[in-house]
Structure 1
Amino acid sequence: MQIAVTFRHMDASDALRMYLEEKLVRVKKYIDEPIDAQAVLSVEKKIRHCAEVTLVAKGITIKGSDETNDMYAAIDGMVDKIERQLKRYKEKIKNHKPANERARQVEKTVFAAESIDTGAAEPIVIRSQSFSVKPLSVEEAVMQMDLLNKTFLVFSDASTEEISVVYRRKDGNYGLIVPRK
């Protein structure tokens, strides 16, 4: 497990770094693949201690954070949240048989709003990113969206092999957008 620790608005402490590494080793029992962890420990207004971590493993990204008035308690709370998420993820994929279909490649492009508003012949591209969309069931897509703390997720439906979108509605329920042929 590779752990990168960033300290914000506080002095770097080897004791905190060692404590965080000790606690994050507990999550290795849920994921077999190599894990990459980025942790941010910060102090806000000299009172609120925040611990945030992003774990990236093969096929999964999990984010967790906690805030208290003690940094060690914030680390403990954050690791507990990550463990609960990983347990839930592990239980859901236990009975899942992986699909043999290959992932689709999708490109995401961000355009400058000014170039579109002025009616330019070619809009100005700010950023372009290509990523693969793996085949998932709707339930897996909702679970992945929850684990990533996102409001929507674009995925390839494993049963229909079509690109679909699952999103979180304002009332707390989930919506599904399926293309019509």
Structure 2
Amino acid sequence: MKINIVGKNISITQALEDRITKKLKGLEKYFLIGEDDTAKVLLTSHPNHNKIEVTIPTKAAILRAETVDVDMYNAIDKVVDKLTDQIRRQKTRLESRKDKASPLYEAFLDFDILGEEDPEDIVVKTKSIELEQLSLDEAITRMDLLDHTFFIYLDDETGKPAVVYCRKDGGYGLIETE
């Protein structure tokens, strides 16, 4: 795996680069990452905190995590823990599906999940909804009134299901179906 490290408002020291390389290379034992796969790492320094974003596009899946911490080295450890947890959860889901022919299953084959089921992976509530035909503005208003982070509705222009959601950076996002 190749690692592309970019710094924004921070200079990348050899110690930072070594730490990131060592930690990300450790992921190769959990997930089949090819030599051509390139991990993209963005380090950003803010006055009160540091942020690290890691994206690893592979043939089987895209691994992505970000974390914020006062100490950049702690942030690196946390983001690698998040990536490892993502791999473990995906492997658990694939194991429970028993879909051994999936190419995604092959990519997760070498990861040892210790036979544990993550409590986060259990569906704790199922809800059925009847889609109402609404405009985008009406859907956003309903979502805000319900204090939800997303809202599913039937778009009045297309007549197809759509999802409006709150973005982390503020504003809204829209997912339309085809």
| TM range, smaller chain | 0.5 to 0.7
Residue 82 of structure 1: aligned partner: 83
Output the amino acid matched with 1:72. Answer: Y
- Structure 1 residues 24, 166: CA separation in 2 closer, same or farther (over 3 Å shift)? farther
What CA distance in whole angstroms lies between the structure 2 residues aligned with 1:11 and 1:78?
19
- Structure 1 residues 9, 96: CA separation in 2 closer, same or farther (over 3 Å shift)? same
1:58 aligns with 2:63: no
Residue 159 of structure 1: aligned partner: none
Q: CA deviation at 1:33?
A: 3.5
Q: Residues 63 and 82 of structure 1 are in contact (CA less than 8 Å); yes or no, is this contact kept in structure 2?
A: yes
What CA distance in whole angstroms lies between the structure 1 residues aligned with 2:177 and 2:67?
36
Q: Residues 49 and 74 of structure 1 are in contact (CA less than 8 Å); yes or no, is this contact kept in structure 2?
A: yes
Q: CA deviation at 1:14?
A: 1.1
Output the amino acid matched with 2:40. Answer: Q
Residue 14 of structure 1: aligned partner: 14
Q: CA deviation at 1:99?
A: 6.0
Could you say what secondary structure the match of 1:62 adopts?
Answer: strand
Residue 50 of structure 2: aligned partner: 49
Which of 39, 42, 61 lines up with 1:40 in the alignment?
42
- Structure 1 residues 10, 87: CA separation in 2 closer, same or farther (over 3 Å shift)? same
Output the amino acid matched with 1:71. Answer: M
Q: Residues 30 and 90 of structure 1 are in contact (CA less than 8 Å); yes or no, is this contact kept in structure 2?
A: no
Runs ≥4 residues deviating over 4 A: 165-170
- 1:1-181 alignment runs, 5 A limit: 1-34=1-34, 35-45=37-47, 47-94=48-95, 95-98=98-101
What CA distance in whole angstroms lies between the structure 2 residues aligned with 1:8 and 1:50?
10
- Structure 1 residues 6, 92: CA separation in 2 closer, same or farther (over 3 Å shift)? same
TM-score (norm 2): 0.54
What CA distance in whole angstroms lies between the structure 1 residues aligned with 2:12 and 2:177?
49
What CA distance in whole angstroms lies between the structure 2 residues aligned with 1:99 and 1:50?
34
RMSD: 3.0
Q: Which has the higher strand share?
A: 1
What CA distance in whole angstroms lies between the structure 2 residues aligned with 1:31 and 1:62?
10
Deviates more, 1:88-97 or 1:76-85: 88-97
Q: CA deviation at 1:36?
A: 2.1
Deviates more, 1:74-83 or 1:90-99: 90-99
- Structure 1 residues 3, 99: CA separation in 2 closer, same or farther (over 3 Å shift)? closer
Could you say what secondary structure the match of 2:40 adopts?
Answer: strand
- Structure 1 residues 75, 168: CA separation in 2 closer, same or farther (over 3 Å shift)? farther
What CA distance in whole angstroms lies between the structure 2 residues aligned with 1:98 and 1:166?
32
Identity rate, percent: 25
Structure 2, unaligned runs of 5 or more: 104-120, 122-149, 151-160, 167-175
What CA distance in whole angstroms lies between the structure 1 residues aligned with 2:50 and 2:56?
20
TM-score (norm 1): 0.53
Say how many residue pairs are matched. Answer: 110
Structure 1, unaligned runs of 5 or more: 101-142, 144-150, 152-164, 171-176
